[in-house]
């Protein structure tokens, strides 16, 4: 190796000098963080007076981010100014506008946002108790509260993951482990080659994330035994095949289009008698358990072995807040197992044993903040309120002559026109209005406007404005 005469020795150099000086200056006095707080406050308060989807001027402003990586460091304030000036206008106003109804995207409760700010400042690694006692403590408390809220048996555990896509993967992985282990096969050690065959059973309207998880786990989407559904997208028990101890049955608490719930009370006894593993995909719908008037929808679901849900949907926590719940703690731990001489487990909660991730942020902080601040009554009000707004929308649109294609049991409304060819144009007109945002879907081979009521910020007056926007858009077709 050729030596460099200009290179300083270990005791003389400080390669981090520039970066450290910049960071020290940014932190001193707290001006930078206070500025960010003010900009965020302005953004949240301004959502109700701006277009739900960015207008042409805001989208054109994104060109300001098209630049090469700078050669030299620049003041942090310049970077934040760029974000606020051209980034904020180009966002979709879903956090607090009350008029975003695309996908099943929840709003953002202020207490959850504030908790996230504090947690981001903590910058904890939630892998182990020894890497973050506070993260482990709040995960444990959330686990206890959620299991009580959902009526799960004592001993059920929770894993805090990015979203329900990962939660489904974890739940099915736990089921795969347990069903094969009962047949004398350790899938973690022996793999899938030569493994006993498992039967995957799901309704025809299973969510796309279920297919993704099945593929990632090497179980093969072609192996799924599809079960017919009724006119609301619920799995029809009359068409359920005979179950046995090799079955991994996937049910839904909340059809992604209609919001309908599979008939758990009729299916669960059959699965339990057969020794099948049941996973409930309840990303947004399982939160119906928090509502005294809606919990009948998921009656019987508590008998399943694993569950997936999102706090960033119905619960209105920030994004990156998914949950896997499992009544078979040992199966989930075995499926997520990790070892290494540097991993120091404790006699407290070590959250990484319930998730695929090792290093991860302390996302349970926001979920804990929402649960604690709302309490049982506040959670009931939140979930019930979403349903009431959905009913208000469906009734108003039906009175105005629109076709409501689903029975509104929770927060989803499917809107159609007599002329199917006009539906895509109706969606375009609604989106172009800037007053709201809705998406489209195909419901039993017919196009519909798909409206998901998921935000705490949606008021009765917002629904009246949405109804008026539908009428105006139809008139312009």
pLDDT digits (tens, 9 = 90+) for 225-279: 999 999 999 999 999 999 999 999 999 999 999 999 999 999 999 999 999 999 9
Q: What is the mean pLDDT of residues 16-24?
A: 72
Mean per-residue pLDDT over the chain, rounded: 94
The contacts of residue 356 (CB under 8 Å, 6+ apart) are: 161, 166, 169, 170, 336
Report pLDDT for 68: 96
Q: Give exposure, 135-145, as e/b (b: 16+ Cβ within 10 Å).
A: bbebbbbbbeb
Number of domains in the chain: 1
Q: Is residue 275 part of a domain?
A: yes
Q: Is residue 93 part of a domain?
A: no
DSSP state for residue 128 in the 8-state scheme: S
Q: Is residue 61 part of a domain?
A: no
Exposure of 84 in the CB half-sphere (CA atoms within 13 A): 17
Report pLDDT for 95: 94
CA pair distance 198, 449, nearest whole angstrom: 38
CATH of the domain at 321: 3.40.640.10
Report pLDDT for 1: 47
- The mean-pLDDT minimum among 1-5, 123-127, 158-162 falls in 1-5
3-state secondary structure at position 341: coil
192 pLDDT higher than 60:
yes
Percent of the chain with pLDDT over 70: 96
Percent of the chain with pLDDT over 90: 89
Tell me the pLDDT tens digit for each residue of 302-348: 999 999 999 999 999 999 999 999 999 999 999 998 877 778 888 99
**Rounded (10°) angle between helices 460-475 and 423-433:** 120
Q: What is the mean pLDDT of residues 139-153?
A: 94
Report pLDDT for 74: 87
Specify the residue for token string 């700010």.
117
Quick one: which of 402, 431, 401 has its CA closest to 415? 402
pTM assigned to the model: 0.93
* Backbone CA torsion sign across 424, 104, 214, 289: negative
Q: Is residue 37 part of a domain?
A: no
Report pLDDT for 17: 72
Which domain range does residue 347 map to? Answer: 114-371
Q: Is residue 266 part of a domain?
A: yes
CA pair distance 475, 176, nearest whole angstrom: 53
Q: Is residue 316 part of a domain?
A: yes
3-state secondary structure at position 202: strand
4 pLDDT higher than 70:
no
Q: Is residue 396 part of a domain?
A: no
Q: Is residue 437 part of a domain?
A: no
* Backbone CA torsion sign across 277, 282, 287, 291: negative
How many other C-beta atoms lie within 10 A of the C-beta of residue 344?
A: 11
Tell me the pLDDT tens digit for each residue of 373-402: 999 999 999 999 999 999 999 999 999 999
Q: What is the mean pLDDT of residues 34-60?
A: 94
């Amino acid at each position: 190796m050729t030596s460099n005469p200009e290179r300083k020795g270990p005791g003389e150099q400080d390669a981090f000098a520039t970066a450290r000086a910049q960071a020290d200056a940014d932190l001193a006095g707290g001006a930078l963080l206070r500025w960010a707080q003010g900009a965020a406050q302005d953004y949240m308060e301004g959502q109700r007076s701006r277009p739900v989807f960015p207008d042409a001027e805001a989208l054109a402003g994104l060109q300001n981010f098209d630049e090469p990586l700078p050669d030299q460091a620049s003041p942090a304030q310049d970077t934040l100014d760029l974000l606020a000036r051209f980034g904020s206008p180009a966002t979709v106003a879903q956090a607090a506008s009350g008029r975003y109804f695309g996908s099943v995207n929840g709003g953002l409760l202020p207490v959850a946002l504030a908790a996230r700010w504090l947690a981001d400042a903590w910058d904890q690694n939630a892998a182990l108790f020894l890497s973050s006692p506070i993260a482990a403590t709040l995960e444990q408390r959330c686990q206890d509260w959620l299991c009580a809220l959902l009526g799960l048996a004592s001993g059920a555990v929770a894993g805090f993951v990015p979203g329900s896509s990962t939660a489904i993967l974890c739940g099915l992985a736990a089921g795969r482990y347990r069903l094969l282990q009962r047949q004398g096969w350790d899938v973690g050690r022996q793999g899938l080659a030569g493994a006993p065959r498992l039967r995957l059973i799901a309704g025809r309207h299973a969510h796309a994330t279920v297919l993704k998880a099945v593929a990632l786990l090497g179980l093969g989407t072609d192996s799924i035994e599809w079960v017919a559904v009724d006119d609301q997208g619920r799995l029809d028990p009359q068409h359920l095949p005979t179950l046995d101890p090799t079955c991994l049955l996937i049910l839904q608490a909340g059809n992604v289009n209609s919001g309908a719930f599979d008939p758990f009370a009729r299916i669960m006894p059959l699965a339990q008698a057969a020794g099948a593993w049941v996973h409930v995909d309840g990303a947004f719908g399982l939160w119906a358990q928090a509502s005294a008037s809606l919990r009948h929808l998921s009656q019987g679901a508590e008998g399943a072995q694993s569950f997936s849900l999102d706090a960033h949907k119905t619960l209105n926590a920030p994004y990156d807040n998914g949950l896997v719940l499992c009544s078979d703690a040992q199966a989930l731990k075995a499926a997520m197992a990790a070892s290494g001489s540097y991993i120091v487990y404790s006699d407290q909660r070590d959250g990484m044993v319930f998730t695929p991730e090792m290093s991860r942020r302390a996302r349970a902080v926001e979920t804990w903040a929402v649960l604690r601040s709302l309490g049982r009554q506040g959670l009931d009000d939140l979930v019930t309120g979403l349903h009431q707004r959905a009913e208000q929308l469906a009734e108003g649109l039906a009175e105005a002559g629109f076709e409501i294609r689903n029975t509104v049991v929770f927060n989803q409304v499917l809107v159609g026109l007599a002329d199917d060819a006009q539906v895509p144009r109706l969606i375009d007109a609604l989106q172009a209005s800037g007053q709201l945002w809705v998406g489209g879907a195909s419901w039993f081979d017919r196009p519909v406007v798909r409206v998901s009521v998921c935000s705490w910020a949606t008021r009765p007056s917002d629904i009246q404005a949405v109804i008026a926007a539908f009428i105006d858009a139809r008139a312009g077709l």
